[in-house]
Structure 1
Amino acid sequence: MNEPSEAATVTRRNPWIAAILGIFCSPVAFLYCGRPNRAFFWLIFNLFTGVLGCAYLLYFAAGPLGVVLGGALIAAPQLALVVDAVRVARRGQTEFPKRYQRGWGYSIAIVAWFCWGAFLSGFLKTSWTEAFVMPTRSMRETILPGDRFLVDRLAPRVRDIQYGDIIAHYENGVGTPLYVKRVVGLEGDVIELKEEKLFRNGEPIGEPYAIFEGPVPEVAGMRDFGPHTVAPHSVFLLGDNRRMSRDSRFDGDRPLDDVVGVARMIFWSREYAESPPADPWNDRNPTIEWGPIRWSRIGRRVD
C-alpha cells in the first residue's frame, strides 16, 4: 500500500497570514487554516457580542468606564479570534488541502466578507443606531459642540415620541442635513412662550436644562411666541440654548416622518473653536478648529 508523503498529509499555515486575515477578514482566517466550522462559530459569536456591546453602549453605559466596557465587548472577541487563528495555524492542518483553499476560494470568501460587513453596517446605521457629532451651541449644556453621541433609531419605531426626548431630525425631509433638538410639544398641544418662559396647554413648564446665553436677538418669536397648536403627526422642538437656537419657533412643527432617532449617550467629546457664519439664519455651517479632549463628558447620558 502506498503511504501518502508527509508533504501531502500535513500542510503548514503561515501564522502571520492567519493573523492578518483575522484582523481584516475575520472568519476567512479559519478557512485559510482549513477550519470552516470554527469560522462559522466566530462569525456568530462576534455578531452576538457586537450586538451586545452596541446595546450596552446605547442603553446602559455611563461614564468613561462604561464606554470602555462597551468597547471591550465589541473588540475583545475580535482579538481572541486573531489569537485563535494564529494558534490553529501553528498547529498545522493534518488533512489534505481543501478544495476551497486556493486563490479563487479565498477571493470569494473575502468579497463575501466585505459585502456582509457593508450590509451589516448599513443595516445597523439605518435601523438601530448611528453616531453623530454636534456642530452648534443650540443644545448647550446638554450637548456641547464637539460632542459625539449615539442616536437610537429604533426608539421612534417601538414607542411614541415623549416630552423631553432629544431627537435627531432631518431639516427638510430624508437626505437633508440632520439637527438635534428637544421635544416640548406633541400633536394637539398649545405651545406658548412668554418672556422666554415655556407654557404648554396653559401650564408653565419647568426647564432646568434651558439656558439663555447672550442677549436676546431682535428676531420675532425669540422671546414671545404663540399661542400655537402643534399640527397632527408632528412635534414642537426647542433648543436648550434658547437664544442660540433656530427651532420650531422659526421653522414650524417638525413632522414625525423627519425624526431619525433619540439621542442616548455621548461616547467622545473634544473642544473646538468655531467662527460663526456671516448670516446664521441662512448658513448654519461654522468654521471649526478642534481642541482638547473633554474626558469628563465621555459616557454621559443624554437627557
Structure 2
Amino acid sequence: MPGVGIGGRIVAESRFQSLNSEYFGSVPDVEMTSTKPRRAWLAALLSLLGGPLGQVYTGHFGRGVLLWLIGTFLLPILWFLTVFLPLGRVGLMLLLLCALAFPIYLAVDAFLLARRNSGGPLKRYQRWWVYVLLFLVCVVANRAVTYAVRSFVAEPVVQPVRAMSPAIQAGDCVLIEKCYSSAERLRHHDIVAFRSDGLDSPLYVMRVAGLPGETIEIRNERVLINGVQWHDKCAVFEGPLSPHVDLANYGPLKIPSDCFFVLGDNRRVSKDSRLLGPIPFVDFYGKVRMIYWSQARVFPDPGDTSHYLPGPIRWDRMGTRLD
C-alpha cells in the first residue's frame, strides 16, 4: 500500500538520522570532512593571546567562555577589595598573583585539552574568522572593564614631584579611590587628588588642611585653624624658603562653603592652596588610598623636576596604606 511505503521510508530516514547523530554528533555542530588534529602548543598560545581562544580551538566553546568571564570579573573584584580593605602588601601580592596565575591556568588548561583530544571532526565554530571575532570581542570587553574600574573604583597615578615627601615620594604610584569618595566627606589629614584648572590640568596630590567654613591662617610656617594651631606630624621643612613668594605666611582666610584647603607635606617646595587658593569641590578627583608601586627618581637639577633619571625600585614602599 502507498501509505505503508511512505511510512517505512520515514521510519528508515529517522533511524538513519538517529544513528548519524549517535556516532558523529548533531549536524549543526560537526563538519565530518575535517579531521585536523589540535596542536597543544598552539592552544596554549591562543589562550595567552585571547582568553577563551585556546579552549574554543580545542572544541570546548562553553568552557572557554565561562573561564574567560570568571577571569574578566575576578580581577576587578580583587582590585576593589585591595583598595577598600586594609590588606596592605598582602592584598597587593594576592592581586598580582591572580593577575599572573589566571592566564597561565587558561594556557595549561587549553594545552591539556588539546593533548587529550588530538584528533577528530571539527565543529563549525572552529574557523579562523571565529577566532578573530572572539579576539576582538575580548579586547573590547577587557578595555571596557578596565575603563569602568578606572572611572568608578580606583585609578593608578604616578606622583612626579616631591611636594608630599616623605609620605608620598617622587616616583610613587598611588591608587586613587573613586567609588565612595566625595568632597563633602573630606576630613583633616586626608590625602586627595584634584585638578586646579579644569579637566585639562594635571592632577595634584595634597593633604587636606582646611574644611568649608573654617578660617585658616599661616604664621611663620605654623598653621592655625580657627585660631588654634594645627599639629601636622607629617609636615617637613627642608631647604630654603622661596625668595619669590612668601610661603611662610598666609591669610587669614575663611574657606568658602564649596571649597577645601590643601597643603603639601614638604612645605617649602609644595605648590598648594597657598598659591592655588581654596580648591572647589568640582575639582576634587578622589582620595588617595595606597602606594602600589615605587621607583625612585633622581633629579640632576633639583630645581627642574621635569628631567630625572630612574632610580632603584623601592620594594618596601609597595602596599603602604595612606588612609
Task: Judge same fold: TM > 0.5, yes or no.
Answer: yes
- Residue 310 of structure 2, aligned match among 261, 268, 290: 290
Equivalent in the alignment of 2:28: none
The answer to which of 93-102 and 243-252 deviates more is: 93-102
Counterpart amino acid of residue 314 in structure 2: R
Name the Cα RMSD after superposition: 2.5
Equivalent in the alignment of 2:201: 176
Query: Does 2:62 correspond to 1:62?
Result: no
Equivalent in the alignment of 2:40: 15
C-alpha contact (below 8 Å) 1:34/1:93 kept by paired residues? no
* In 2, Cα distance between equivalents of 1:230 and 1:202: 14
The gaps in structure 2 that reach 5 residues or longer are 1-15, 25-31
Counterpart amino acid of residue 28 in structure 1: L
Query: Does 2:260 correspond to 1:260?
Result: no
Give TM-score scaled by structure 2 length. Answer: 0.83
Q: Percent identity?
A: 31
Name the CA shift for 1:159/1:187 in 2 (closer, same or farther; >3 Å): closer
How far off is 1:44 after superposition? Answer: 2.5
Deviation sequence 1:228-268 (CA, Å, 0-9, x none): 11123221111000001011111111122222211111122
Counterpart amino acid of residue 142 in structure 1: A
* In 1, Cα distance between equivalents of 2:114 and 2:182: 46
* In 2, Cα distance between equivalents of 1:220 and 1:211: 18
Q: How many residues align?
A: 296
User: Any idea what SS the aligned residue of 2:181 has?
Assistant: helix
Counterpart amino acid of residue 83 in structure 1: V
Query: Does 2:95 correspond to 1:36?
Result: no
- Residue 208 of structure 1, aligned match among 230, 233, 245: 233
C-alpha contact (below 8 Å) 1:277/1:286 kept by paired residues? no
C-alpha contact (below 8 Å) 2:291/2:319 kept by paired residues? yes
Equivalent in the alignment of 1:84: 109
* In 1, Cα distance between equivalents of 2:308 and 2:278: 29
User: Any idea what SS the aligned residue of 2:80 has?
Assistant: helix
Name the CA shift for 1:208/1:71 in 2 (closer, same or farther; >3 Å): same
* In 1, Cα distance between equivalents of 2:239 and 2:280: 30
C-alpha contact (below 8 Å) 2:39/2:118 kept by paired residues? no
* In 1, Cα distance between equivalents of 2:258 and 2:295: 36
1:1-303 map, 5 Å: 12-59=37-84, 60-63=86-89, 65-92=90-117, 96-157=121-182, 160-276=185-301, 285-303=305-323
Name the CA shift for 1:159/1:92 in 2 (closer, same or farther; >3 Å): farther
How far off is 1:141 after superposition? Answer: 0.7
User: Any idea what SS the aligned residue of 1:34 has?
Assistant: coil
Name the CA shift for 1:105/1:158 in 2 (closer, same or farther; >3 Å): farther
The gaps in structure 1 that reach 5 residues or longer are none
Deviation sequence 1:71-92 (CA, Å, 0-9, x none): 1133222221221111112121
User: Any idea what SS the aligned residue of 2:185 has?
Assistant: coil
How far off is 1:221 after superposition? Answer: 4.3
C-alpha contact (below 8 Å) 2:76/2:149 kept by paired residues? no
* In 2, Cα distance between equivalents of 1:158 and 1:108: 43
User: Any idea what SS the aligned residue of 1:155 has?
Assistant: coil
* In 1, Cα distance between equivalents of 2:275 and 2:301: 19
How far off is 1:50 after superposition? Answer: 0.5
How far off is 1:159 after superposition? Answer: 7.2
Deviation sequence 1:75-114 (CA, Å, 0-9, x none): 2222212211111121217774222211221111111111
* In 1, Cα distance between equivalents of 2:158 and 2:63: 38
C-alpha contact (below 8 Å) 1:276/1:286 kept by paired residues? no
Give TM-score scaled by structure 1 length. Answer: 0.88
How far off is 1:143 after superposition? Answer: 0.3
Greater C-alpha Rg: 2
Name the CA shift for 1:159/1:230 in 2 (closer, same or farther; >3 Å): closer
Q: Specify which structure has the bigger relative contact order, considering alpha-carbon pairs within 8 angstroms and separated by 6 or more residues.
A: 1
* In 2, Cα distance between equivalents of 1:209 and 1:228: 23
Counterpart amino acid of residue 271 in structure 1: A
C-alpha contact (below 8 Å) 2:72/2:142 kept by paired residues? no
Q: Which stretches of structure 1, 4 residues or more, deviate above 6 A after TM superposition? A: 1-4
Counterpart amino acid of residue 289 in structure 1: L
